[in-house]
Amino acid sequence: MANLRKINKRIKGVENTRQITKSMKMVAAAKLRRTQEAFAAQQAFAGRCETLLAEVCADLQELQNPLLQPREESRRVCYVLLLGNRGLCGTYNHALLRYAQELARQDSRESFFVVCGRWGKELLPGAGIAVERSVAVSDTPAAQEAGELAAYLRELYQSGQADEVQMVYQHYRSVLQQQPTHKRLLPLTLAREGSARERYLFEPDRESLLEKLLQLYLNNTVHALLLEARTGEHSARMTAMTAATDNTEELLAELRLELNHARQTAITTEISEIVGGAEALRRDGAERF
Amino acid sequence: MARLFHFCVLSSEKTIFEGEVSSVNLPTPFGSVGILARHAPMLCAVEKGLVRCTGEDGRQLRILVGDGVASMAEDGLTLLTADGRLSDPEEE
């Protein structure tokens, strides 16, 4: 009986865990859909912005914009680490952290980190990550959050605190696959095509337009990367929670089988005891007569 | 009837407006600039303010926009802005 109670208690515990993992999976799926929609929505803007920039920058030699000019000597690099907001998403955060450590170790330049995401605040100092600043980023990053981060990174670059800004994040390949990677944010790299001067009238002038377009492009690039990172995080959590829910199902099936065995054993023992008792009574009665 | 052209207002988060219009007035650092169909190709800085346009049914539309850049090309007028929304007439 004690064994039966123990198994029943365990089944209840596993059922509760299944309920939690199932709910987390559903929450992650809803957040994933939101970030995917936001990512798709910014793509029209990004495409148009890139086309216009390429046309405005067609004769780049003439244009002197600090955001486009690589420094002659790059001595200090800022890594922007886009971690998740929470754990329970498989190896998403750990893999990215290892990648960032390796990246900083292999870079001979002085480096420091700007961390976006709430995960692992206690882990980072021990992992050899020199955190300059932590930035809170919501589960579905808005353009305003991206704008604030972009302004801060631009300030770091323009004031000379960083000669280069690199974004370190999980590249989203599919719901099941994310790949740790890094991409240079500043100085900006642009694709160039054809000459635009004959086609467009520039109001007020080309340099002011370039400045405005670069600001829009920088904000949008940061926004797109934040959304991509969050999409990966929600995908990883959804996958991890699906696996956890499947595991609880398996465990429940095993526990129910164990419970039935235990119950059967208990019934068999009880019947044997009754039969044994009846037999003893019968023998006792026969001896008396 | 006034000639129509395609007008699209995009922000990093969404398409704020997309449709056929007959005229658009943009707030720029050097004053309001009016755009009609067949305007010469142009790239124009836009500052925070109110974009007024006339839709195909003759209705006046107002869109609040942030800093941005407008591009007039063969495929119409596109305004890239930091943020924006359709304006409620009661706000004015």
CATH topology of domain B5-91: ATP Synthase; domain 1 (2.60.15)
Q: Does A49 touch chain B (CB under 8 A)?
A: yes
Could you read off the pLDDT of B38-83 as tens digits, one per residue?
999 999 999 999 999 998 888 899 999 999 999 999 889 999 999 9
CB pair distance less than 8 Å for B12 and A220? yes
- Residue of B14, B32, B38, B69 to mutate for A, most A C-beta atoms under 10 A: B69
Give pLDDT, residue B89: 62
Give pLDDT, residue B39: 92
Q: Does A63 touch chain B (CB under 8 A)?
A: no
Residue B12 has pLDDT above 90, yes or no: yes
- Residue of A51, A203, A208 to mutate for B, most B C-beta atoms under 10 A: A203
CB pair distance less than 8 Å for A201 and B14? no
CB pair distance less than 8 Å for A45 and B12? yes
Residue A57, burial from CB neighbour count under 10 angstroms (0-12, 13-18, 19+): buried
Q: CA torsion sign, B26 to B32 to B37 to B42?
A: negative
Residue A274 has pLDDT above 70, yes or no: yes
User: Which long-range contacts link A181-185 to residues 24+ away (Cβ below 8 Å)?
Assistant: A181/A99, A182/A79, A182/A99, A182/A103, A183/A225, A185/A80, A185/A153, A185/A218, A185/A221, A185/A222, A185/A225
Q: Does A220 touch chain B (CB under 8 A)?
A: yes
Edge-to-edge strands, sheet with A76-82: A131-135, A110-116, A76-82, A164-172, A178-186
Which residue type sits at A5?
R
Select the more confidently predicted residue: A31 or A129: A31
Q: Which residues pair with B78 in a beta bridge?
A: B8, B71
CA angle A32, A40, A169 (to 5 degrees): 60
Give pLDDT, residue A60: 60
Interface A-B, measured as beta-carbon pairs within 8 A, has a size of 74
Name the band, by pLDDT with cuts 50, 70 and 90, for residue A121. Answer: confident
Answer for the pair B8, B78: CB distance below 8 angstroms, yes or no: yes
Mean pLDDT of A36-50: 93
Could you read off the pLDDT of A61-97 as tens digits, one per residue?
666 788 888 888 889 999 999 999 999 999 999 999 9
- List b or e across B10-42, with b for residues whose CB sees 16 or more CB atoms inside 10 angstroms: bbbbbebbeeebbbbbbbbeeeebebebebeeb
Residue A271 has pLDDT above 90, yes or no: yes
Give pLDDT, residue A54: 82
Q: Does ipTM surpass 0.95 in this model? A: no
Average pLDDT, chain A: 90
Which residue type sits at A134?
S
Give pLDDT, residue A254: 96
User: Which residue, A124, A185, A180, is CA-closest to A156?
Assistant: A185
Residue A237 has pLDDT above 60, yes or no: yes
* Rg of chain B taking only CA atoms, in angstroms: 12
The minimum CA-CA distance between B47 and chain A, rounded to whole Å, is 10
One DSSP character per residue, A162-194 reads -SEEEEEEEEE-SSS-EEEEEEEEES------S
Percent over 70 (pLDDT), chain B? 95
One DSSP character per residue, A13-49 reads HHHHHHHHHHHHHHHHHHHHHHHHHHHHHHHHHHHHH
Could you read off the pLDDT of A168-187 as tens digits, one per residue?
999 999 999 999 999 999 99
Residue A195 has pLDDT above 60, yes or no: no
The tokens for A68 are 């486009």
Chain A partners within 8 Å of B12 (Cβ): 42, 45-46, 143, 146, 216, 219-220, 223
Mean pLDDT of B18-30: 94
Nearest to A52 among B43, B45, B83 (CB): B43
**Domains annotated on chain A, with CATH:** 29-241 (3.40.1380.10)
Give pLDDT, residue A277: 92
pTM of the model: 0.88
The tokens for A99 are 């990648």
Q: Does A54 touch chain B (CB under 8 A)?
A: no
CA distances from B21 to A24, A263, A274, B81 (A): 46, 77, 93, 19
Give pLDDT, residue A264: 94
Percent over 70 (pLDDT), chain A? 94
Give pLDDT, residue A223: 96
